[in-house]
Structure 1
Amino acid sequence: MPGSAENSHRSPVTADDLALAVRLAVETLRTAPPDVWDGRAGALEWDRWETAEHLSDDLFAYAAQLGPAAPPLDGEVPFIWESRRPGGPANAIHADRAAGPAGLLCVLEASGALLVAMVRTASPDTRAYHGYGTSDPEGFAAMGIVETLVHTHDMAEGLGLGWEPPADLCARVLARLFPDVPADVAAPWPTLLWATGRTELPGHPRRTAWRWDGTP
């Protein structure tokens, strides 16, 4: 979790990092009992099924932003995002309920693979719109990893599922997207949870507002 003085020497976030995050998340969520997906996801207002759809939608949307020959810099690729219920996530991607949890996780895995492919093939000079700052392929990979790690935490919370992603992976995305977060707060994973408003740390109350900086 380098500070600004070290940030120029940070290790880059890669497509392999994103592929690892999605694989670990899917492997963990496959161990969840089939009857828990309607339960609330952590502190979110969504249930676990909706949260998995939202995560799939994030990964798909980030891939789509990098897709056009000249990606838009002033807004998102204009898919229709809509909620299935008041207060639910507004998604372009929805899983077929009849396919059950296995189908839901297949959608998640496929959406992750789309972003992995786009990060691998897009020019490093590509820039595309995001509300937290116009970003590059590495930035979209890092955003996809953060979404994957913290929303898997949301879904796993309360289920007794072991979910602690690799420290070096958390450290790289913290350095890329949260360069203002001090390096000595805690280990990388609890620091990422704190940076995204999910927990408090000694001397650092839980954040009530947060955002990353996706700019290259």
Structure 2
Amino acid sequence: MSRSSNSPAGPDHPSLPADPDPVTADDLARSVRLAVELLRTAPAAAWEDGGRAGSLEWDCWETVEHLGDDLFAYAAQLGPGTPPLDREVPFVWHARRPGGPANAVHADRAAGPAGLLQALEACGALLVAMVRTTPPEVRAHHVFGASDPAGFAAMGIVETLVHTHDLAAGLGLDWEPPAEVCARVLARLFPDVPAGPAPWPTLLWATGRIALPGRPRRTDWRWDGTMRP
């Protein structure tokens, strides 16, 4: 995901309070597990009709590949002995069709939806492992600010939760992730987002998915992965 935001908190919309508990590898592992469990309930035919994932221009298969690629790429950023602070690790990303997502990770279509979700699960496990084993003082490049392992975990969670929302819309599923995980990633990555009715709809608003009462849907947004005191 890559959008920008300049929406400030104001006196009528106080910022979300900083959560005293940091985002953890366990939060990421739980998010990926719940997403994969939900997506496994979709009938095989739902993956084959080429329907779009929510408001995205990609179909559901492509969106899962994109999500897996995000998780893989975040793990890769933390992987080198000296992670780069000015660029991404130089894998080759390419789209399989004009307008499709540019990925380094592509699932074998012959393996069907089960194989696609196994690839997603594996990419999530790579990032979980890197977050668990990378010293907290390590920093690595991201276009939205150099970040620490907990920051990359938070980014992976946002990608997982929000793209599963997109997928649920395309596949006809119901999805509502744990409120406490949403609250932690909002506090970590969206410190200036005004408090909303609940953490999950607030996260969807912050990432341009929905409107909230008195707040039109965002068309321009980004998170802030940098470290704060």
TM-score (norm 2): 0.90
- What is the distance in 2 between the residues matched to 1:162 and 1:51? 17
- What is the distance in 1 between the residues matched to 2:74 and 2:169? 25
Q: Equivalent of 1:32, from 42, 45, 56? A: 42
CA drift at 1:158:
4.4
- What is the distance in 2 between the residues matched to 1:164 and 1:3? 22
Instruction: Name the SS of the counterpart of 1:194 in structure 2.
Output: helix
Task: State the superposition RMSD in angstroms.
Answer: 1.1
Count of paired positions: 212
- What is the distance in 2 between the residues matched to 1:153 and 1:3? 24
The aligned runs of 1:1-216 (5 Å cut-off) are: 3=15, 6-7=17-18, 10-37=20-47, 38-183=50-195, 185-216=196-227
Which moves more between the two structures, 28-37 or 86-95?
Answer: 28-37
CA drift at 1:182:
1.4
CA drift at 1:160:
3.1
Q: Which residue of 1 aligns with 2:4?
A: none
- What is the distance in 2 between the residues matched to 1:198 and 1:11? 26
- What is the distance in 1 between the residues matched to 2:30 and 2:65? 19
Structure 1 alignment gaps of length 5 or more: none
Distance 1:47 1:10, change over 3 A: same
- What is the distance in 2 between the residues matched to 1:162 and 1:59? 23
CA drift at 1:173:
0.2
Asked if the contact 1:10–1:175 (Cα under 8 Å) also holds between the matched residues in 2, the reply is no
Instruction: Name the SS of the counterpart of 1:92 in structure 2.
Output: coil
Instruction: Name the SS of the counterpart of 1:35 in structure 2.
Output: helix
Deviations 1:29-63 (A, max 9, x none): 00011112221000000000000000000000000
Runs of 4+ that moved beyond 6 A: none
